[in-house]
Amino acid sequence: MRNRLVSARDGMTELTGTTVVSMGSRIRLSEPAVPPVDLPSTVIPAIGEPVIRQLVHAFYQRVQHDALVGGMYPPNEWEAAETRLADFLVYRLGGSQDYLTKRGAPRLRMRHASFAITPAARNRWMELMTEALAEVPLPQPYANIVTQFLSETATFLINRTHSH
């Protein structure tokens, strides 16, 4: 699984940090030289919805028993929570927009504000997701795209430096 994370990062390196030579001087671009492609939205059209639902199921099997993040989730709502995350990912990865119809705009920072997402909680969440990713038949390069999307979103959701 380490390899997947490493190659996702390598993929980013390819897109950024481009150096061009112009009028004899070297200019470092802060923007990728290649126009950005909405990669996450290519996932569902290519691999279908069931694998993503399977991924979220494998993830929740783990989260429920996790000492660090498990307690943050409302008890007795595991099935509903699983559907919310699965619907969101299906929507965000280019599939049906059921999430928007059921829940409205994602506003994920706002919806996570009451949970103490410290760097440690973020890393644990991502670790459980990485284990779940290893369990489902998600082919490359889509596994990398999904890993990168989840990892960046999880970092974006960090809202505390400490848990107390």
Centre a 10 Å sphere on the Cβ of residue 97 and count the other Cβ atoms it contains: 11
Cβ-based nearer residue to ligand HEM, 57 or 103: 103
Nearest to 8 by CA among 148, 107, 153: 148
Select from 8, 121, 136, 145 the one that contacts ligand HEM (CB under 6 A). Answer: 121
Angstrom CA distances, 81 to 18, 52, 147, stand at: 41, 15, 20
Q: φ and ψ at 90, to 5 degrees?
A: -60, -45
Q: What's the half-sphere exposure (Cβ side, CA atoms, 13 Å) at 39?
A: 18
Select from 35, 74, 75, 139 the one that contacts ligand HEM (CB under 6 A). Answer: 74
Q: φ and ψ at 2, to 5 degrees?
A: -55, -40
Do 20 and 71 form a contact (C-beta atoms < 8 A)?
Answer: no
- Give the shortest CB-128-to-ligand HEM separation in angstroms: 9
- How many residues bind ligand HEM (CB under 6 A)? The answer is 22
> Residues 16-55 vs ligand HEM: string with x where CB under 6 A?
----------------------------------------
72 binds ligand HEM (CB under 6 A): yes
Rule CB under 6 A: which of 94-113 touch ligand HEM?
103, 108, 111-112
115 binds ligand HEM (CB under 6 A): yes
E-strand ranges in 23-81 read: 25-28
73 binds ligand HEM (CB under 6 A): yes
Give the footprint of ligand HEM on this chain (CB under 6 A): 69, 72-74, 77, 81, 84-85, 88, 103, 108, 111-112, 115, 117, 121-122, 125, 150, 153-154, 157
